Amino acid sequence: MQIISKGLTFTYNREADFHRQALQGVDLTINEGDFFGIVGETGSGKSTFIQHLNGLIKVQGGSLWVGDFNLAPTDKQGKKQYKKMLKQLRHKVGMVFQYPEYQLFAETVFEDVAFGVKNFFPTLSDEEIEKRVAKAIDLVGLDYNKVKNKSPFELSGGQKRRAAIAGILVSEPEVLVLDEPVAGLDPVGKKRLMSLLHTLHDTGIVKTIVIVSHDMDEISENVNRVALFCGGRAVKVCTPKELFSQKDESSSRLGLPVTAYVSEKLNEVGVELSSDFKTENFIKDLVKKYKETV
Amino acid sequence: MLSDLTFGQYYETDSFVHRLDPRIKILILIAYVVFIFVARNFYAFLALAVFLVIAVIFSKIPFSNMIKSMKGILFIIVITVILNVFFYKGETQTVLFWIITKEALIFSAYMALRLIILVMGSVLLTFTTTPVALTDGIESLLSPLKVIKFPVHELALVMSIALRFIPILMGEADRIIMSQKARGADFDSGNVISRAKAMIPVLIPLLVSAFRRAEELGDAMDSRCYSSSAVRTKYKKLKLSARDLVATLVSIIIFVSVIFLNGLGGV
Ligand SMILES: Nc1ncnc2c1ncn2[C@@H]1O[C@H](COP(=O)(O)OP(=O)(O)OP(=O)(O)O)[C@@H](O)[C@H]1O
Ligand SMILES: [Mg+2]
């Protein structure tokens, strides 16, 4: 599903007098198959934007299409119809909030993961539910037989997060949206979560991934396109390479991934590298340059 | 959204009422509540209502906000009125459905009026007084009880923490509701029971996080060597001013007039 946002605006607490405009016209297209990154300073509207993608926030101004779903409520559409659409949309667009482990509630991990399927497919048989739950728990790298009867609150922080993500994957979304999914994880946990996302994307289990992140290394390593948010707008939509090689005010405040930083320093001493900033390609390029000069 | 609830949340602006000493505001409110139940006829109620309107005007709080804050308790008012209409024993003959008397109707109307101005008065206090000022005021008013070893300071601390946590927990509830909605949870269809059931996936994470926060706060206070018995000074000392005198005088005039107006006759 392609996501097209045109002139999307949003204001929190519109009627109160302390309101402020969080989105000031977001123009952005996310294609099917993208591993899409969203970066930007804190308060730039990233979370507000992605919450629109499965209708958790109603469109106030501008237009937003997610696949065939028109998220700006039209007058013709009844309330009932809109709600029905939202349910369909939410099963297609999975949303992993920041610290998703805080949404765990059920007595067992099984029940918690099953929550989504039961909501979206109330007619499913018990065996079918179990199959799907087992698949989702396996996918996130937890041992189904070990954890299914455990209380979600007995898991470690990283495991909790995996269980929470399984609770989203279980409804087999086409688009997976994640708000700072690795925040608060240790380096190993971060790597494993990112490689999980890669596996999901590469195997086509999830077609499109949208990820909000403050970690530029993560962005340069993983995404194929990236949007830079600033003051409630997507001021740049480009490849990570373009983002980290251009020098202007809005991107200089972001910081650089290590690879981009090193190539900048090398550039200063006259070594020109041309790769993108994925570590693998960067090293290849560096070795090639080295061999050329020796 | 939950956080849209205006009930009890401080409304930031600078006004005569905002600047009043919290102790005076609390005392006036207590007296006001007492007089709401002393008032016996229409004129007395009118005086109290006028007082409220004047106070709202001087607080610069939009009337729409005051009205909105009533939403939460509308249900209680309706229930009270219904119960009163049916169960109040009047003497005159029935006017409706054989059991409802004229007295019952009048009595219920007064009851609803009482509840409305009572809640509005209380809301006005929380709208115009920060939680910190409110607890400071209560602590100061209760401080004579220290003589009999009543834990005034602890009580004030518990109150201020509770008040401080309300908006945080509301925000948290909002977030949890959103993440469960993203998993297909439906909070606004079905009958009362299924709706109540639908709240479980919200209430449990909310409780868990409240406990987590409480523990963290306790640790943070311990690590800074907090002790409730320590003698402490205040950053902002409460001081009475001319403003408070004016407010007190006006209130006294209103309350005295309620007593006089009561003399005009009952119900
Ligand atoms: N529930 C809310 N009520 C009122 N204002 C809000 C709310 N949530 C966010 N805002 C405001 O909207 C603006 C955008 O917030 P948003 O959460 O989208 O930023 P963000 O880019 O996700 O930031 P971060 O990187 O810190 O997560 C901010 O100015 C914020 O203060
Ligand atoms: Mg955010």
CATH of the domain at A15: 3.40.50.300
Nearest CA in chain B to A177: B182
pLDDT tens per residue, range A106-155 = 999 999 999 999 999 888 899 999 999 999 999 998 999 999 899 998 99
Structural domain tally of chain A?
A: 2
**Both ends of chain B: CA-CA distance in Å?**
41
A289 and A181 housed in the same domain: no
Confidence (pLDDT) at B25: 95
What is the pLDDT averaged over residues A39-46?
A: 91
Domain-embedded: residue A126: no
Q: What is the DSSP track for A210-243? A: EEE-S-HHHHHHH-SEEEEEETTEEEEEE-HHHH
A283 and A179 housed in the same domain: no
Instruction: Pick from A103, A104, A111, A153 the residue to mutate for testing the B interface (most B CBs within 10 Å).
Output: A103
A101 and A34 housed in the same domain: yes
Neighboring chain B residues of A119 at a CB cutoff of 8 Å: 183-186
For ligand 1, atom 29, name the residue with the nearest CA. A43
Domain-embedded: residue A70: yes
A264 and A235 housed in the same domain: no
Higher pLDDT, B231 or A41: A41
A7 and A58 housed in the same domain: yes
B209 touches chain A (CB under 8 A): yes
Ligand minimally distant from the alpha carbon of residue A97: 2
* Residue A223 structural domain: 3-109+174-254
- Closest among A133, A104, A109, A172 to B180, alpha carbons compared: A104
Pairing of strands A208-212, B94-96: unpaired
Domain-embedded: residue A183: yes
Neighboring chain B residues of A13 at a CB cutoff of 8 Å: 4
Phi-psi region of A278 (alpha: psi -120 to 50; beta: other; left: phi over 0): beta
Most confident of A4-18, A68-82, A182-196, A249-263: A182-196
d(CA A85, CA A69): 8
Counting one residue from chain A and one from chain B, the pairs whose CB atoms sit within 8 A come to 61
A284 and A247 housed in the same domain: no
Query: CB–CB of A12/A47 below 8 Å?
Result: no
Lowest mean pLDDT among A54-58, A74-78, A177-181: A74-78
Confidence (pLDDT) at A177: 95
A236 and A294 housed in the same domain: no
Query: Could you tell me the distance, in angstroms and rounded to a whole number, from the CA of residue A7 to the centre of ligand 2?
Result: 20
Do residue B201 and residue A105 have CB atoms under 8 angstroms apart? yes
Nearest CB partner across the interface for A95, out of B176, B182, B201: B182
A266 and A231 housed in the same domain: no
Do residue A90 and residue B4 have CB atoms under 8 angstroms apart? no
- Closest among B122, B65, B131 to A13, alpha carbons compared: B65
Query: Could you tell me the distance, in angstroms and rounded to a whole number, from the CA of residue B112 to the centre of ligand 1?
Result: 40
Q: Measured between CA atoms, how close is A164 to chain B, in angstroms? A: 10
d(CA A95, CA A55): 10
Ligand minimally distant from the alpha carbon of residue A179: 2
B194 touches chain A (CB under 8 A): no
For A24, the enclosing helix (H) or strand (E) is strand A20-30
Domain-embedded: residue A154: no
Ligand minimally distant from the alpha carbon of residue B171: 1
The mean predicted confidence, pLDDT, of chain A is 88
Q: Measured between CA atoms, how close is A168 to chain B, in angstroms? A: 7
The proportion of chain A whose per-residue pLDDT surpasses 90, expressed as a percent, equals: 44
Ligand minimally distant from the alpha carbon of residue A230: 1
Neighboring chain A residues of B179 at a CB cutoff of 8 Å: 95, 97, 100, 102-103
Domain-embedded: residue A205: yes
What is the pLDDT averaged over residues A172-196?
A: 89
Neighboring chain B residues of A167 at a CB cutoff of 8 Å: 183
A229 and A267 housed in the same domain: no
- Counting as low any pLDDT under 50, the low residues of chain B are 1, 3-6
Confidence (pLDDT) at A19: 65
Domain-embedded: residue A92: yes
B185 touches chain A (CB under 8 A): yes
A262 and A293 housed in the same domain: yes
Q: Measured between CA atoms, how close is A91 to chain B, in angstroms? A: 7
Q: Is the CB of A12 under 6 A from ligand 1?
A: yes
Nearest CB partner across the interface for B182, out of A54, A83, A153: A54
Atom of ligand 1 nearest to the CA of A49: 18
A239 pLDDT above the threshold of 70: yes
Nearest CB partner across the interface for A153, out of B12, B184, B208: B208
Q: Is the CB of A13 under 6 A from ligand 1?
A: yes
Domain-embedded: residue A86: yes
d(CA A158, CA A138): 15
Query: CB–CB of A224/A36 below 8 Å?
Result: yes
A88 and A14 housed in the same domain: yes
Q: How confident is the model at residue A174 (pLDDT cuts 50, 70, 90)?
A: very high
Residues 6 or more apart from B107 whose CB is under 8 A from it? B84, B88, B90, B267
Q: Measured between CA atoms, how close is B256 to chain A, in angstroms? A: 37
Q: Which residue has the tokens 């990283």?
A: A158
> Helices in chain A by DSSP H: which ranges?
46-52, 79-92, 109-120, 126-139, 144-147, 157-169, 187-202, 216-222, 240-245, 249-252, 258-268, 279-293
Nearest CA in chain A to B3: A13
Burial class of residue B136, CB neighbours in 10 A (0-12, 13-18, 19+): buried
Domain-embedded: residue A16: yes
Q: Which of A254, A270, A286 is the last residue of a domain?
A: A254
> Between the CA atoms of B174, B176, B181 and B183, what dihedral angle is there, to the nearest 10 degrees?
170
A50 touches chain B (CB under 8 A): no
